[in-house]
Chain A
Amino acid sequence: MMTAEERSAYLNQEMLDSTLFGMLTAKPVYSDEGEVVDFEYLNANPALYRYHGVNPEDVIGKRMLDVFPDLRDHPTLQFYKDVAVSGNPAAFESEFVTRDLDAYMLVSITRTHAEFITISFVEVSETKRIMDALSRLNAFSASDMNLDDYIENVLSLGRKTFYATHAYRVHCQGDLCRTVSVSVAEEEVDSKDVLLPETISDQLMREGRIVSFRHVADDKTTKDRAEEIRPFLNFIGAPVSVSSEISGALAFCSNRPRARDYTDNELELAKTLGEAVAARIRLNGARLLLEQRNDDLKRFSTVVSHDLKAPMRHMKLLSELLMDRIKDDEEAQALGQEICDNAAEAQAMIKALRDFSELGDSGVTLEKVDLEALCGQCVSRYAEEIQACNAEVEFGRLPPVIADRILLGQVISNLLANALKYARSENLKITFDCETTMMGQSVYSITDNGPGIDARYAERVFELFRQLPGSKANGDGEGVGLAACRKIIDGLGGRIWLDTTYQSGARFCFTLPASN
Chain B
Amino acid sequence: MHTTSLLLFEDDDLDARLITSALAKAAPQIQVRRAHDGTSGLKIMEEDRPGMVLLDLSMPGLSGFQVLETIREDDILARTPVIICSNSDAQSDIDESYSRQANAYVTKPDSGAGYASLAEALAGFWIETVQLPS
Asked if B112 is an interface residue, CB under 8 A from chain A, the answer is yes
Judged by a CB distance under 8 angstroms, whether B129 is at the interface is no
A258 within 8 A of B: no
> Which B residues from 88 to 110 make CB contacts under 8 A with A?
88, 90, 108, 110
Interface pair B14/A306, CB less than 8 Å apart: no
A232 to B111, CA, bound (A): 78
Indicate if the CB atoms of A309 and B87 lie closer than 8 Å.
yes
Cβ-defined contact, B14 with A318, below 8 A: yes
| A310 interfacial by beta-carbon distance below 8 Å | yes
The A277-336 residues at the B interface (CB cut-off 8 A) are: 306, 309-310, 313-314, 316-318, 320-321, 324
Instruction: Give A351's nearest chain B residue, CB to CB.
Output: B89
1/0 per residue, CB under 8 A from B, across A381-392: the answer is 000000000000
Q: Which residues from A are CB-within-8-Å of B88?
A: 306, 309
Contact present for B110 and A313 (CB under 8 Å): yes
The answer to the question of B128 belonging to the interface, with a C-beta cut-off of 8 Å to chain A, is no
Question: For residue A310, which residues in chain B have a CB less than 8 angstroms away from its CB?
Answer: 12, 87
As a 0/1 sequence over residues 96 to 134 of chain B, the CB contacts with chain A under 8 angstroms (1 = contact) are 000000000000101110000000000000000000000
* Contact of A314 with B14 at beta-carbon distance under 8 Å, contacts A306-B88, A309-B87 already known: yes
Residue B18 lies at the interface, judged by CB distance under 8 Å to chain A: yes
Q: How far is the CB of A343 from chain B (nearest CB, A)?
A: 8
Contacts of A313 in B (CB 8 A): 87, 108, 110
Do A317 and B112 have beta carbons less than 8 Å apart?
A: yes
Which secondary structure dominates chain A's binding surface?
helix
Give how many A residues have a beta carbon under 8 Å from the other chain's beta carbons: 13
- Is A317 in contact with B87, judged by CB distance below 8 angstroms? no
A347 within 8 A of B: yes
The CA of A16 and the CA of B108, in the complex, are separated in Å by 97
The size bracket of the interface on B is 10 to 19
A316 touches B12 (CB 8 A): no
Q: Give the residues from 1 to 39 in chain B that come closer than 8 angstroms, CB to CB, to chain A.
A: 12, 14, 18
Chain A residues positioned under 8 Å from B90 (CB to CB): 306
Q: Give Cα A310 to B110, complex, Å.
A: 9
- Chain B residues with CB under 8 A of A318: 14
Chain B residues positioned under 8 Å from A347 (CB to CB): 110
| B contact residues around A321 at 8 Å (CB) | 112
Residue of A nearest to B88 (CB): A306
Rounded to whole Å, the gap between the CB of A490 and the closest CB of chain B is 24
A321 to B87, CA, bound (A): 19
User: Can you list the 5 inter-chain pairs with the closest CB atoms, starting with the nearest?
Assistant: A313-B110, A310-B87, A316-B110, A320-B112, A309-B87
Residues of A that sit less than 8 Å from B by CB: 306, 309-310, 313-314, 316-318, 320-321, 324, 344, 347
Q: Which residues of B contact A (CB under 8 A)?
A: 12, 14, 18, 87-88, 90, 108, 110-112
| Known contacts A317-B110, A344-B110, then 11 further A-B pairs from the complex at CB < 8 Å, ordered by chain A residue | A306-B90, A309-B87, A310-B12, A313-B87, A313-B110, A314-B12, A317-B14, A317-B112, A318-B14, A320-B111, A320-B112
Give 15 CB contacts A-B under 8 Å: A306-B88, A306-B90, A309-B87, A313-B108, A313-B110, A314-B12, A314-B14, A316-B110, A317-B18, A317-B111, A317-B112, A318-B14, A320-B112, A324-B112, A347-B110
